[in-house]
Amino acid sequence: MSEVEAIEVPGQVHYIDGSFVGSVSGDTFDVINPATEEVVTTAARGGAEDVALAVKAAKEAFDGGEWSHAKPSFRRKVLFKAADLIEARSAEVVARQTLEMGSPIGPDFGDKPHPVIERSAWNLRFFAEEQEQAGDHAFNRDDSLLTYTMAGAAGVFGLITPWNGPMMLSTWKMAPCLAYGNSAVHKPSEMSPLSIGVLCEIFEEAGMPNGVYNMLLGYGKEAGVPLVEHEDVIGVSFTGSPATARDIATRAAAGLKRTSFELGGKSANIVFADADLSKAVPAAAMGIFMNSGQVCVAGSRILVQQDIYDGFLEGFEKIAGAWQPGNPLDRKTRIGPLVSKSQYERVMSYLDLARNEGRILFGGGRPAGLDRGYFVEPTAIVDANPSARVCQEEIFGPVATIIPFSDKDEALAIANDSSYGLAGYIWTGSQDTAHYMSHRLQTGMIWINSGFDRDLRQPFGGMKNSGLGREGGGLSREFFTETRFVSFPLTPRGNHVAGH
């Protein structure tokens, strides 16, 4: 038995007002290990009554001011301590993520944190510093009037997150939300309720005042909807699918709440004939096979210039051989199963569709020797029309569609013919081509001869159905603070009304 298999995860409960509590109803749901289809443990199944308790705690904490009016240096201290604790418990968090959503446990990093956990800790540190260093504006153009702006804590936010990167995506939202002094009620995905429990213990140990961060487990319709609709929740930051975002937008509009949406994608990875293929081919494989393709910015449409198309297919198939699925608890495994039975069935239905709309170059089914678990082979689809469903819809599995193009403008026409607009990847040896494409690609983020790197000040997010709003640095501050002005006359002279 490996060290990871030995981990026992107790039943998971909500974290409300600094206490670990079950649902008022006493209801729970099973947490399934997607690699074995076995029940790992149970989790509390939250509903409207639990939401009411969590929001009440968050509101009281906000109004009490212990966090919302604390000195920025205090908030920095607590968040830095939480970041250190996240890193210290890296192995445990990674093991829980493996059990809940099947992501490979990866190499043994010894005393060092796993890179995903290091990044999660960094999210906290980054915004802890950002809020301490942020300044406001003073407008003081003459000696009769002093007026200044204040961007301060705004209230209680609902944070709703998906399962495909539980710790990284959750900390990415909660870091700015909490750093700027707000209170939060966080609802992680029902498919990944294990790793977040560790975070609750960490916030407690780090000295976060009770009620500032609350975590509620449960399903979208039962716990997510009442959270969005609660009158004391002033805004919702959501990462997930466009369909859910539409539902949240409708409900939030009724309460005039602010929303921020980070949604799905069908991102084009464009490889020109003058690209360095020794880098572009492995990056294309990583871009679609990493995390079994369950990545919002996955390069799921690979566009390849006609002149190198055949050679690219050959190289891509060869390199895909290194991405064979396996037991995610094995340290050598690079891709595990999909997260759930429904996700497995969904991806399989797209593979059936691909046989009609195009041709399966390799993969296309369940890997040999893996009879249990929601495993899917890395797959490439070719010969499909760019307007076919497999080229247009987000499959969210290890499935690439590969499409040839003749020149820059045809590549742009294919890439932009999408209801999504999250990321774009351009592989070329020409700066001119890179800039030409960057200015015309309809996506929120563009990587040239690279992928995934990001300065945390950059605006993360997408166009079209890929999102509304951006997260990162000052943009997160804008969303998670209330900007007001204060004005007072210094002398009786001057006409203060005229300037408004």
Q: Which residues does the annotation mark as catalytic?
A: 262, 296
**Which one, 211 or 220, has the nearer CB to ligand NAD?**
220
> Which region among 111-119, 148-156, 157-165, 173-181 touches ligand NAD (by CB under 6 A)?
157-165
415 binds ligand NAD (CB under 6 A): no
> What do you get for the CA distance between the two ends of the chain, in Å?
71
216 binds ligand NAD (CB under 6 A): no
Among positions 35, 212, 228, 354, the unique one binding ligand NAD when judged by CB under 6 A: 228
41 binds ligand NAD (CB under 6 A): no
Touching ligand NAD, residues 335-394 (CB under 6 A): 394
CB 437 within 8 A of CB 268: no
Among positions 50, 87, 100, 190, the unique one binding ligand NAD when judged by CB under 6 A: 190
Among positions 87, 130, 262, 377, the unique one binding ligand NAD when judged by CB under 6 A: 262
396 binds ligand NAD (CB under 6 A): yes
Among positions 224, 326, 337, 364, the unique one binding ligand NAD when judged by CB under 6 A: 224
CB 313 within 8 A of CB 361: yes
**Which one, 224 or 326, has the nearer CB to ligand NAD?**
224
Among positions 189, 291, 324, 379, the unique one binding ligand NAD when judged by CB under 6 A: 189
In 311-460, the DSSP E strands lie at 359-362, 379-382, 399-405, 420-421, 423-427, 445-448
103 binds ligand NAD (CB under 6 A): no
Is 151 in a helix, a strand, or coil? strand
> Which region among 130-138, 147-155, 256-264, 268-276 touches ligand NAD (by CB under 6 A)?
256-264
CB 451 to ligand NAD: min, Å: 15
> Which region among 34-42, 55-63, 260-268, 477-485 touches ligand NAD (by CB under 6 A)?
260-268
CB 157 within 8 A of CB 182: yes
Q: At what angle do helices 166-179 and 473-480 cross, to 10 degrees?
A: 60
**Which one, 97 or 241, has the nearer CB to ligand NAD?**
241
- Could you give the count of Cα atoms lying within 13 Å of 212 in the half-sphere of its Cβ? 27
Among positions 221, 279, 318, 341, the unique one binding ligand NAD when judged by CB under 6 A: 221
71/57 Cα distance (integer angstroms): 21
116/109 Cα distance (integer angstroms): 12
260/377 Cα distance (integer angstroms): 34
**Which one, 228 or 437, has the nearer CB to ligand NAD?**
228
Other C-beta atoms within 10 Å of 23: how many? Answer: 23
CB 448 within 8 A of CB 432: no
**Which one, 85 or 394, has the nearer CB to ligand NAD?**
394
The count of residues interacting with ligand NAD (CB under 6 A) is 30
Touching ligand NAD, residues 279-298 (CB under 6 A): 296
CB 225 to ligand NAD: min, Å: 5
270/268 Cα distance (integer angstroms): 6
CB 246 to ligand NAD: min, Å: 9
444 binds ligand NAD (CB under 6 A): no
User: 46: closest CA among 192, 173, 220?
Assistant: 220
**Which one, 121 or 248, has the nearer CB to ligand NAD?**
248
87 binds ligand NAD (CB under 6 A): no
Among positions 17, 247, 317, 482, the unique one binding ligand NAD when judged by CB under 6 A: 247
Among positions 163, 350, 405, 447, the unique one binding ligand NAD when judged by CB under 6 A: 163
120 binds ligand NAD (CB under 6 A): no
CB 394 within 8 A of CB 265: yes
Q: What is the DSSP string of 239-306?
A: ES-HHHHHHHHHHHHHTT-EEEEE-----EEEE-TTS-HHHHHHHHHHHHHGGGG--TT---EEEEEG
> Which region among 13-21, 146-154, 236-244, 403-411 touches ligand NAD (by CB under 6 A)?
236-244
Touching ligand NAD, residues 419-438 (CB under 6 A): 422
Query: What value does the CA radius of gyration of the chain take, rounded to a whole number of Å?
Result: 24
In 429-480, the DSSP E strands lie at 445-448, 463-464, 467-468
Among positions 131, 241, 291, 443, the unique one binding ligand NAD when judged by CB under 6 A: 241
CB 112 within 8 A of CB 126: no
The label of the residue with tokens 């015309």 reads 440
CB 93 to ligand NAD: min, Å: 18
CA distances from 448 to 20, 59, 285, 311, 436 (A): 46, 44, 16, 21, 12
Q: How many residues does the chain have?
A: 500
463 binds ligand NAD (CB under 6 A): no
225 binds ligand NAD (CB under 6 A): yes
User: Phi and psi dihedrals of 36, rounded to 5?
Assistant: -120, -15
> Which region among 132-140, 240-248, 267-275, 355-363 touches ligand NAD (by CB under 6 A)?
240-248
161/250 Cα distance (integer angstroms): 18
- Interacting residue ranges for ligand NAD, rule: CB under 6 A: 160-164, 169, 187, 189-190, 219-221, 224-225, 228, 239-241, 244, 247-248, 262-265, 296, 394, 396, 422, 467
